[in-house]
Chains A and B, each alone.
Chain A
Amino acid sequence: VTVRTRILLLAAFLVVALVGAGGYVLHARQKQTEVQAASPAVAAGGDLATLRTEPHLVFRSTALGAGYGRVAVVPLAAPAGPRAFTTVSCERVYATAGDTICLSADRGLVTTYQAQLLDGSWAPTRDLPLTGLPSRARLSRDGSLVTTTTFVYGDSYTNPGQFSTRTVVTRTDGKVVGDIEKFRLTVDGKVVTASNKNLWGVTFADDDRFYATAASGARTWLVRGSLSHRTVTALRPDVECPSLSPDGTRIAFKKRGDRPAGKWRLSVYDLRTRVETTLAEPRSIDDQVEWLDDDTVLYGLPRTAANGAATSDVWRVPADGSGGPQIFVPDAWSPAVVR
């Protein structure tokens, strides 16, 4: 075969590759536009200011279309009804009556992440330090403490089962309390000095005490911490992403058990009776649960929409192991109950 023929062959191949790949991308783009135009617009409605005076749910709307990723509000009285959209977009959001913490990602060549505190009218009041992929965010009940957990990738190189998190607690007035991974961790009376320890999923009990997950190697624990003493103490093994009930008596969490990596079941642990109850949600849940009230928990679950787009719903399930899961708000993620 002559060089000329080969160059012609390559040129032909180049054209095929260009047309094929280019055509695919254009087609995908067009389809995306069509899907967005054709997707039933999620019912929007309600007055934000009025909604905030009654019990409501603040969440990230994942309904396809213009409002995708925006923070929205629904009254607890009609959670599946029309939602009122705010103007802010967050990957993870949490709110109390007066404050909102919003973790957002600015995707680009360098994807940068931001943590912002918002006031009652959703206007940013303060930037908080944040590095890595947003994962969890929580405020203390009175809104004076805020915590964020992010994933910092990297040590997965030859260490199966390893990831690195950063969990920072800050006062909402801007004072940084610290990276709780630097707090002294005690397990069974022994101080854990291993630097591969990770802490994540903070839930505040009061202005000083909090619960969280601690991990070292492949093991995890429920830990109780003190901000003033800068200590965390393991209470119980195999607890991830704890969430304290409104009455402060129980912890809802995800439990790995003997399931493979990345699979969890929701459970509730009673701090007084030390009884653990598995909830009636048979699917694997990877979320930090939110309590709707003292009897019900809420959590997000990803779903692939009929047109192949990725979305999610917020589900509810009784906290005592009875009943079964029901959709609480469709096309939603990262719920925060505000009463």
Chain B
Amino acid sequence: VYVSLRDRPGADQAPGAGTKARRVTSTVVLLGVVSLLTDISSESVASVLPLYLTAVVGLSPMAYGFLDGVYQGVSAFVRLAGGYAADRGGHPKWVAVLGYGASALSRIAMLPAAGFAAITSVVTADRLGKGLRTAPRDSLIAASSDPAMLGRSFGMHRMLDTIGAAIGPLVAFALLAAVPNSYDSVFVVSFAFAALGVAVLVLFVPDLRTTAAAARVGLRLVMREVSGRPLRKPLIAAAVLGLATVGDGFLYLSLQERDDFAAKYFPLLYVGTNIAYLALAVPLGRLADRVGRNRVLVAGHGALLACYLLAALPAGGIGLTLVTLMLLGVFYAATDGVLPALISRLVSDHARGSGIAAAQTVVAVARFASSLMFGVLWAVQGPSRSLLLFAAALVLVVPVAAWLLRGVGRPEATA
């Protein structure tokens, strides 16, 4: 990291000159480090939150379930606002700072917060921040990267992000082991990590302008771009794929219902997924750059299909559970960073934040709807048959998405 700090911020804007094009730019690495620090912060709190709420604050697990629902809804809509604000002001960095800052402050607000209402609002503030920062940050990654290696850049960022998510719970448990029941210590340390993340962002990430200073990016212009022809089919594809995607929580739960290994290590199942994700984020991003982002995105849903089929098997076992988790990680590695990489090349620079936000919101809303559907199905006919039904839906939807995305996000020649 220190070596790449020497790069002048301005140099990022002219990628592709000779040997430098082979490397992910310092801005991407820095944004990755910011996300890593922020994820250590958020995941350390998230991992102790169920225990804290039920053991210390005295909420029942039922009330906690409600809290989790709050998470989802808030984030999707703020995301659009974040993307638009980044485009309109032309300074995505400062929108991102606002988002990261809000989440950081929400950690310290956990200290005096007691009771259900206070904690709900703190959690909501955190999610608002997350929603706000995502699109401007991805917009910065796209703006600072060589178009031919966008997949790799996003892969690098998601890898660092996921490493942070893996370290977070470790930090929390180490703290609780050292000072038993001192949840305040977790919140304070979490705040320190988040604040460091904001400091790195403010001090080192260049304030890349996404618009010419004179140009005024209005809502109408952005709307035209987002609903325009180049984005229409990819957004529809993202929506139909999202509608056939089951929430992780349900997937883990169905694994836990069928074998004791998954049940015993239930809180750790996501770690298996994360390991696959962080290991494959960069390789699959590079593959996307080489063979086409559309292809990798669609193929990633093939991994998801395999994942459903394995999870729907009546009997499990350690091996099968691990393979299922790995496949879920493959799915994330092939889609989460690849989607913004694909989208950011389809909109003009001045509407990039909004374009990325639109795609991510479409995915989030579609997945939310699918989770509701899946919840109902699960209640009626149990996990196995519901998973098979969603697998069937994927089989139908994937070719449609492949057709919608044909020719989109083809490999680009390196300048």
Chain A positions 1-44 with a Cβ under 8 Å from a chain B Cβ: 3, 6-7, 9-10, 13-14, 17-18, 20-21, 24-25, 28-29, 32
Task: Count how many pairs of residues, one from A and one from B, have CB atoms less than 8 Å apart in the complex.
Answer: 159
Q: Does B389 contact A (CB under 8 A)?
A: no
B180 in contact with A195 (CB, 8 Å): no
Q: Does B203 contact A (CB under 8 A)?
A: yes
A151 in contact with B61 (CB, 8 Å): yes
A259 to chain B, nearest CB (A): 12
Chain B residues near A21 (CB, 8 Å)? 188-189, 191-192
Selected interface stretch from A109-117, A118-126, A203-211, A273-281: A109-117
A interface, CB within 8 angstroms of B? 3, 6-7, 9-10, 13-14, 17-18, 20-21, 24-25, 28-29, 32, 107-112, 129, 131-133, 151-164, 193-196, 216-217, 261-262, 286, 302, 309-310
A160 in contact with B69 (CB, 8 Å): yes
Smallest CB-CB separation from A131: which chain B residue? B263
A33 to chain B, nearest CB (A): 10
Q: Does B199 contact A (CB under 8 A)?
A: yes
B192 in contact with A17 (CB, 8 Å): yes
- Distance between Cα atoms of A50 and B343 in the complex (Å): 76
Taking residues whose C-beta sits less than 8 angstroms from the other chain, chain B's interface range is: 35 or more
Q: Does B179 contact A (CB under 8 A)?
A: yes
Smallest CB-CB separation from A17: which chain B residue? B192
B66 in contact with A261 (CB, 8 Å): yes
A153 contact from B61, B177, B260, Cβ within 8 A: B61
A281 to chain B, nearest CB (A): 16
B370 to chain A, nearest CB (A): 9
Given A21-B188, A32-B182, A262-B59, are A154 and B256 also a contact pair (CB < 8 Å)?
Answer: yes
Contact with A along B166-191 (1 / 0, CB 8 A): 00011001011111111011001101
B394 to chain A, nearest CB (A): 19
B371 in contact with A9 (CB, 8 Å): no
- Distance between Cα atoms of A261 and B182 in the complex (Å): 27
A302 in contact with B204 (CB, 8 Å): no
Given A108-B177, A159-B375, A194-B380, are A131 and B253 also a contact pair (CB < 8 Å)?
Answer: no
A9 to chain B, nearest CB (A): 6
Smallest CB-CB separation from B198: which chain A residue? A13
Q: Does B11 contact A (CB under 8 A)?
A: no
B182 in contact with A10 (CB, 8 Å): no
Q: Does B195 contact A (CB under 8 A)?
A: yes
Given A21-B192, A155-B250, are A161 and B62 also a contact pair (CB < 8 Å)?
Answer: yes
Which of A28, A133, A153 neighbours the largest number of chain B CB atoms within 10 Å of its CB?
A: A153
Given A10-B200, A152-B266, A310-B181, are A196 and B253 also a contact pair (CB < 8 Å)?
Answer: no
Q: Does B220 contact A (CB under 8 A)?
A: no
Contact with A along B230-270 (1 / 0, CB 8 A): 00000000000000000111101100100010011111100
B178 in contact with A29 (CB, 8 Å): yes
A28 in contact with B371 (CB, 8 Å): no
Smallest CB-CB separation from B61: which chain A residue? A163
